[in-house]
Amino acid sequence: MTTSLLNQTLKRIGCASVTRIGLTQAYGKFKRWHDGSEVVILMYHRVSPGGVPWLFEVPPVSPEAFETQLQYLGSHYEVMPLNDLAQNVFNERHSGQRIASITFDDGYKDNISYALPLLRKYHVPATIFLTTRPIDLRDLLWWDKIGYAVTCAKNHRLRLGELGDYSLKDATQRRAIAHKIISRLKTISEERKNKLVEDTIRDSGVEISDELAEETMMTWQDIRAMHNEGISFGAHTVSHPILTNMPIERAASEIRESKSQIEKHIDQIVDFFAYPNGDFNSAIAKIVEDSGFSGAVTVEPVWITPTTNLFKLGRVGLYTDDFSTFRVLLSGIRGDLGRLWQVKH
C-alpha cells in the first residue's frame, strides 16, 4: 500500500465530506489498514461546564461530553501514558493496535475539578503540560488577561496604539475584539506583546486579583495531588511565549526553566515538552532535545507512526461536545487533508 493511494482516497473524499460521519469512519478503517495500526495523541485544554464569560479563548469540553469521550476511548483504544505510547510506537510493539494518549495544556484549575474525577472513574491516565509562571505567581495566562480585561472593562473605549482603538459595546462585540487583539499579539515580539497586554489591562480599568487567578489556574498543591493519583506532567514553558518570536537564548531559558520547576515540585523527571501554540523550528526542537526531554508534542492533528520524529509528535485537538465531530477528528482525516493541502500549495 503506497502513500499515493492514501492521497488519492483523500482527494476522492474531499473536504466537503469531513462532516459525514459514515465516510470518516470508513476512512479511519482504511487508514488503519494502510498504516497497520492507529496511534493518536489527544489534546485537551479545559473540561468545564462553562459559565465564565471572559474565559473563552480556549473552549472547554463539558464534563458530560468528556465522560462520553472517555467511555468511547476505553471501549475502542488502549489508553496509555504518553511515555508508554512513545515506547510502544518507536519500539514497533504496536502493530494492529489502537492506542491513544490523553494530554492537557496549560494547567487550568478545571483539570483537577472536573477532568480528574472522570479520569479516576474510568482509570484513564493523562499528561498535563504546565505553564509554570502563572502557577508560581498566582496569575492568569496572557490571553486570559486580555479576555478578562476586554470583556469586563469598566471603560467603554480602548486606545491601544498599534493594536487599534476599540469601542466596547455588547458582550459579543467585546469577545470579537478580544479575539482580534489576541491574534495580533501572537505575531509580535514577546517584549512588545507583554507591554501591550499590560497596556490593555490598564486602559480597561480592571484589576486581576490573586483570587481570580487561583480560581482559574492550578496550584502546586493541586499538581502534587494529581501527581500522587498517577497523572503525569510535562513542560509547556514558563510564560507561554511564541518561541519563534524571541531570541534563541530566551527561548532556551523558557524551555529549561519550566522543566526544572516542575521537576522540583513533583520530584520526578519531566520527559515531554509541548510547543506553545504549536510554533517551533529546527533550532527550538534541538534545544528541547538537548534539554533532556524524550520527545515533544505539536498541534498538528495527525496520527503517530514509527517514522514520526519524536520531537514532532502530532496531537488531535478536541474542543467539541458533539460526539460525531469527536469521531471525525479521531479518524485522522482532517490532519491528512491539511497536509495534502500544504503539499499542493
Closest CA to 84 of 226, 268, 271: 271
Closest C-alpha among 204, 224, 71, 193 to residue 149? 204
Q: pLDDT tens for residues 47-93?
A: 999 889 999 988 899 999 999 999 999 999 999 999 999 888 877 66
Specify whether the CB–CB gap between 118 and 66 falls below 8 A. yes
Region of 65 on the Ramachandran plot (φ > 0 left; ψ -120 to 50 alpha; else beta):
alpha
| Whether residue 292 has pLDDT greater than 60 | yes
- What is the C-alpha to C-alpha distance for residues 178 and 184, in angstroms, rounded to an integer? 10
Average pLDDT, the chain: 88
**d(C-alpha 118, C-alpha 132), whole Å:** 25
Residue 344 pLDDT > 80? no
For residue range 216-225, what is the model confidence (pLDDT) as tens digits?
999 999 999 9
pLDDT at 32: 63
Higher pLDDT, 321 or 5: 321
The owner of cell 469527536 is: 326
DSSP 8-state assignment for residue 114: I
Residues in the chain, overall count: 345
159-170 pLDDT, tens per residue? Answer: 988 889 999 988
* CATH number attached to the domain at 3-138+211-344: 3.20.20.370
Give how far the C-alpha of residue 12 lies from the chain's centroid of Cα atoms, to the nearest Å. 31
Share of the chain above pLDDT 70, in %: 85
Amino acid at 202: R
Structure confidence by residue, pLDDT tens digits, 126-156 = 999 999 999 999 999 999 999 999 999 998 8
Strands (E), the chain: 38-44, 78-79, 98-106, 127-130, 157-159, 165-167, 232-235, 272-274, 295-297, 316-317
What is the number of other CB atoms lying within 10 angstroms of the CB of residue 98?
Answer: 17
| Helix intervals (H) in 14-102 | 21-35, 63-76, 82-90
First to last CA, the chain: 25
The pLDDT of residue 18 = 46
Domain boundaries along the sequence of the chain: 3-138+211-344, 142-207
pTM reported for the whole predicted model? 0.90
CA geometry: angle 326, 83, 79, nearest 5 deg: 35
pLDDT at 11: 46
Q: How far is residue 166's CA from residue 204's CA, in Å, rounded to a whole number?
A: 11
Check pLDDT > 50 for residue 234. yes
The grid coordinates listed for 40 are 493518536
HSE-up of residue 245 (Cα within 13 Å, Cβ side): 19
